[in-house]
Chains A and B, each alone.
Chain A
Amino acid sequence: MSTWLNRQAFRPDVTVAVFFAVVALFFYGSILWTFYMSLTRSTLIPNYQIVGLDQYVKLFTNQRWLVSCLNMVVFGVLYILGTLAFGILLAVLADRNIKAESLFRTIFLYPLAVSLIITGLSWRWLLDPTTGLQALMRDIGWESFTFDWLTRSDRAIYTLVIASIWHSAGLVMVIVLAGLRGIDNDLWKAIRMEGIPLWRAYCQVIFPGMRPVIASCVVLLMSEVIRGYDLIIAMTKGGPGISTEMPAKFAVDFYFARVNLGLASAASIMMLVLSLIMLAPYFYSEFRRRT
């Protein structure tokens, strides 16, 4: 009996099966239900009569949705490139055997410990032209100083980029730094013997070898882009006008405030499709390397 128990004590297949059942039910089940809802004309309460792709047609003639998608692309590209650039730069600097490295590492990683709501509120106060940076500069005598991007509908999206780069650059720094620490010392010796300038060594030798590390960073940042919601709520509430709306906020607003379950479900399904499209190049390259 006891030997039988011992043999049964750890059954990886059972553990995994339970886990997969939970995921299948709550995750894929919810996706299926959302897809079903997107084919109906449900408003506040689910309505199970299928009307076809009406909601998708409505979605893609809705100006606010189109602006949201465009914003996500603009925000996503700038945020990912900016965060990578800053994070890698910080990592390279930290890798040059500076003094008090762990202190700087903590300082730059710290923003990640701050919630996005707090990040958004702080940056809103900082960038609000009547109370923040602009007011401060004017108060100390620089009368013509103007930085009112937060209240301009054509610039507000960039303030979101600034705030989120501040938030995530530290994460990229730590991941890339860990990658840099993994570089073989012999490689550095070879670089030094060949007399290759430092910038070329990084750009042409070190980083190309760190592709998987950087790809993981990109995937992590992409998930931030797609689910971007709290920062927008805290910082701009989608405004001025609809200039900083994002798909996730569109879906939440239409689920609850606008009580349009059908349209919100269609938006959610489109978000899923969008994220699959965005992740496709990564999966493709991973797959190709394996085979």
Chain B
Amino acid sequence: MNQQRLSGAISLLGLLAMSSPAFAQTVDVQQYWTSASESKAMNAIADAFKAHGGKWIDSPSADFDSTIAAATSRIAGGEPPSAVLMTPSAAMRDLASSGQLRNLDDLAAANGWQKAMVPIVWNKLTVDGHLVGLPVGIHADNWVWYSKSAFEKAGIEEPKTLDDMFAAADKLKASGSIPFAVGGEPWQEVYVLTSMIISLGGPEYWNDLFVKRDPEALKSPILPKAFELFRKVGTYTDPASAGRSWNETTNLVTTGKAGMQFMGDWARGEFLAAGQTAGKEFGCFLVPTEKPAYAVVVDIFAFPVNKDEDRVKGQTLLAETVMDPAVEAKIAAVKGSVPSRLDVDTSTLDMCAVKGVKALATPGVAVSSTYDALPGDLNGQMTDLATQFWTDPSMSVETAVKGLADILQSK
């Protein structure tokens, strides 16, 4: 009798223990999408994931750097998150080549993901021939966002050349607006510098300089000119720029207090979150170049290797959710990115997103952003250099160019 009861209890326990992993599909997502538009995009993924029966654990960090820091410590400590929002940077390649990221080749083959992606994105996401991350959306660095009302007040049109742009800045200044809204954080400042480089040099020079790191490219007169213009942009900013976050800075353009902002197209999401429409209240253009150029930066999910079965299943479900064309379209619509699948319906996207889709589809236009292109901490070192040059007027252009040459030639 007793024995029977005992065995009954044991089998019941066994059933309970077995049943839970069979149904739960859990993801623990380390991410940093906290601004208004970003959190909407993350919710779009989370809602679709939950709709498929998954359990979503959110592990948000304040910014990109702390996300990588938290994810790395968690992986090193043996409690990896099941997905990390990051970019296909040196950190991703390091993690992948030390075997810390789940190989997604089987899922890609089963779902035909390679054909669905733009080749430049696919190449960024493969390490040693294996797919280790999935694109959430494609952004580009070299956009300029402007306020239609500030432009009307100054009586100017969308600039077509670099000279036009600085002429527009002068008129904006005269009409009482802040010509260029820049947030005084190192990563925002270096964007202004790279925008000047891509504007003066175009996609080919960009590839020579940042992808091939050709010593000849470092001697080009484009670099000193770019640093000069970079400093010139600084003379058009407002005194409160120091330490201001990118979305607070975008807010200056949204409210018409500032004319233009150099920022990746995640800025579009902030305009949309403020209830504005592209072409009506705000406008956008890629930094003027002779040949069109589009410096692509991809938001990705990487999936650190997990052992628990429910977490592995959760990863698979999240991977399929992220690659779902409907979810991709929704992310693009709220966040300002361009869908990373070619087969997503783009008819509902606004004019700025369409410009991006077009640039991405034209061969030779898309180049890799410095964050993804440069190995190791070279991009970080360039950021340090740019912010020094930006804040210290006594630093000469020659010193800066030499500093950049040293950085790009190291290792």
Contact = CB atoms under 8 A, between A and B. Distances in A.
Query: Are A and B co-members of a single complex?
Result: yes
Interface of A: 43-45, 62-64, 128-130, 148, 150-151, 153, 236-237, 239-243, 253-260, 263
Contact of B94 (A43, A254, A263): A43
Contacts of B79: none
B242 A239 contact: yes
A100 B52 CA distance: 67
B377 interface: yes
Contacts of B391: 153, 239-243
30 contacts: A44-B91, A44-B95, A45-B94, A45-B100, A63-B388, A130-B239, A150-B242, A151-B239, A151-B241, A151-B242, A151-B243, A236-B243, A237-B243, A239-B186, A239-B242, A240-B184, A240-B243, A241-B391, A241-B392, A253-B65, A255-B69, A256-B65, A256-B68, A256-B72, A256-B73, A257-B65, A257-B66, A258-B380, A259-B68, A259-B94
B47 interface: no
B159 interface: no
A40 B186 CA distance: 28
B104 interface: no
B98 interface: yes
A43 B376 contact: yes
A227 B250 CA distance: 35
Contacts of B239: 129-130, 148, 151
A257 B381 CA distance: 12
A241 B243 CA distance: 9
A90 B94 CA distance: 54
Contacts of A240: 184, 242-243, 387, 391
B390 interface: yes
Given A45-B100, A148-B239, A150-B242, A242 B384 contact: yes
Contacts of B272: none
Contacts, number: 87
Interface residues on B, range: 20 to 34
Nearest to B69: A256
A239 B65 contact: no
B384 to A, nearest CB: 5
Contacts of B273: none
Contact of B91 (A148, A151, A259): A259
Given A151-B239, A237-B185, A256 B66 contact: yes
Nearest to B189: A241
Given A43-B376, A129-B240, A236-B243, A257 B68 contact: yes
Given A151-B243, A239-B243, 20 more contacts: A43-B90, A43-B94, A151-B184, A153-B392, A236-B243, A237-B185, A239-B242, A239-B387, A240-B184, A241-B186, A241-B388, A242-B384, A243-B391, A256-B69, A257-B68, A257-B380, A259-B90, A259-B91, A260-B377, A263-B377
Which 3 A-B residue pairings sit nearest by Cβ, starting from the closest? A241-B391, A256-B69, A257-B65
B94 A241 contact: no
Contact of B387 (A62, A128, A241, A256): A241
A44 B377 contact: no
A257 B184 CA distance: 18
A50 B408 CA distance: 24
A241 B187 CA distance: 10
Contacts of A148: 239
A150 B376 CA distance: 32
A150 B243 CA distance: 10
A256 to B, nearest CB: 3
Interface string B21-56: 000000000000000000000000000000000000
Contact of A45 (B95, B184, B376): B95
A239 B377 contact: no
Given A153-B392, A257-B65, A239 B184 contact: yes
B125 to A, nearest CB: 17
B294 to A, nearest CB: 26
A259 B96 CA distance: 14
Contacts of A239: 184-186, 242-243, 387, 391
Interface in B186-221: 186
